[in-house]
């Protein structure tokens, strides 16, 4: 940078365009930047003391301001689009609840994240000495004393009384006079069907895996959303199942029943949030 141009800047002889160009050059030249800033400050100080020097009114201050503005504009990172954190992004999702205390078969029904989805129908695996084995078990909502319906050629022909339950199979005896064959279709009750889904949701929530709970709720077709359900946690989760399957009015009804089922204070807030969100109340 020539001394002549600096002298002209100091005396206010540079045009506004020349001054801006000088300011741009100063962004890449720290020494020039300091010279221009010092001159601008000195001129301002002289003006305040009443010294008379030939200046272009306000040009020194303008130059210093231009330098600062350009520096900020060119070197400040551009703002990035605001991205909601995962928690905020998922805030509108329904909130599943884990059962308090010991859940009904959470250990036996399995908290394995790779576990298959519950099934509402299965088949007779074998019949030996009147003892019938089927390929459904506790994973599918069966309990000792449960009944499964036997279907043949599309028609119900009777029921099997379940006496022994394993994770993925069960044993029992047919009703008197009922001849059961291998490969006959069997179907669990609506209560067992819903219990199986709620058990797997509870197992997922016990692991802190709400995404898995939602997958379970979405994957299994449900015909009755509240068969045999009484606890606040299960009523809430049944409401979410109904909501996911498109039955909004049933979901709201179940959330309201959950609120009347003496939930804990923390669960109460979650249930109220589910109901309010679905009803559009803020």
Token pair belonging to 83: 């991205």
**Which pTM does this prediction carry?**
0.61
Q: Which CATH class is domain 121-187?
A: mainly beta
Sequence ranges of the domains in the chain? 3-75, 96-115+189-282, 121-187
Residue 60 structure tokens: 């020194």
pLDDT of residue 140: 94
User: For residue 86, what pLDDT is reported?
Assistant: 44
Half-sphere exposure of 182 (CA within 13 A, CB side): 5
**Residue 137 CB contacts under 8 Å (≥ 6 apart), including other chains:** 165, 166, 167, 168, 169, 170
Contact at 8 Å (CB) between 119 and 176? no
**145 φ/ψ sector (left φ>0, alpha ψ -120 to 50, else beta):** left
List per-block mean pLDDT (blocks of 10 residues) for the chain, which spans 282 residues.
67 71 70 69 51 44 49 45 41 84 49 72 94 96 95 95 96 92 95 93 92 88 86 96 93 96 94 91 50
Domains 96-115+189-282 and 121-187 share a fold: no
DSSP string for 2-28: -HHHHHHHHHT-S-HHHHHHHHHHHTT
Total count of residues recorded for the chain: 282
Q: What share of the chain is helix, strand, coil (3-state, %, to 5)?
A: 50, 15, 40
Domain 96-115+189-282 has CATH 3.30.70: no
> What does the pLDDT read at residue 19?
73
């Amino acid at each position: 940078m020539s001394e002549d141009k600096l002298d002209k800047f100091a005396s206010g002889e540079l045009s506004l365009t020349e001054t801006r160009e000088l300011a741009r050059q100063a962004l890449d030249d720290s020494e020039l930047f300091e010279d221009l800033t010092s001159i601008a400050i000195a001129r301002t100080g002289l003006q305040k003391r009443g010294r008379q020097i030939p200046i272009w009114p306000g040009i020194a201050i303008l130059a210093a301001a231009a330098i600062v503005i350009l520096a900020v504009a060119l070197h400040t990172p551009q703002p990035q689009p605001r991205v909601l954190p995962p928690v905020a992004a998922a805030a509108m999702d329904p909130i599943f609840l884990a059962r308090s205390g010991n859940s009904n078969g959470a250990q036996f029904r399995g908290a394995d994240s790779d576990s298959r989805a519950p099934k509402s129908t299965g088949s007779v695996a074998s019949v030996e000495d009147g003892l019938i084995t089927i390929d459904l078990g506790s994973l599918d909502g069966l309990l000792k004393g449960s009944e499964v319906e036997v279907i043949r050629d599309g028609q119900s022909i009777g029921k099997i009384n379940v006496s022994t339950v394993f994770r993925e199979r069960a044993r029992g005896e047919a009703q008197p006079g009922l001849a059961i064959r291998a490969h006959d279709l069997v179907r669990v009750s609506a209560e067992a069907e819903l219990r199986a889904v709620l058990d797997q949701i509870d197992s997922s929530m016990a692991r802190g895996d709400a995404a898995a709970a939602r997958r379970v709720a979405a994957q299994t077709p449900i015909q009755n959303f509240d068969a045999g359900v009484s606890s606040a946690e299960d009523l809430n989760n049944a409401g979410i199942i109904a909501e996911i399957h498109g039955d909004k009015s049933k979901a709201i009804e179940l959330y309201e029943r959950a609120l009347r089922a003496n939930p804990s204070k923390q669960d109460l807030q979650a249930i109220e949030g589910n109901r309010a969100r679905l009803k559009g109340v803020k």
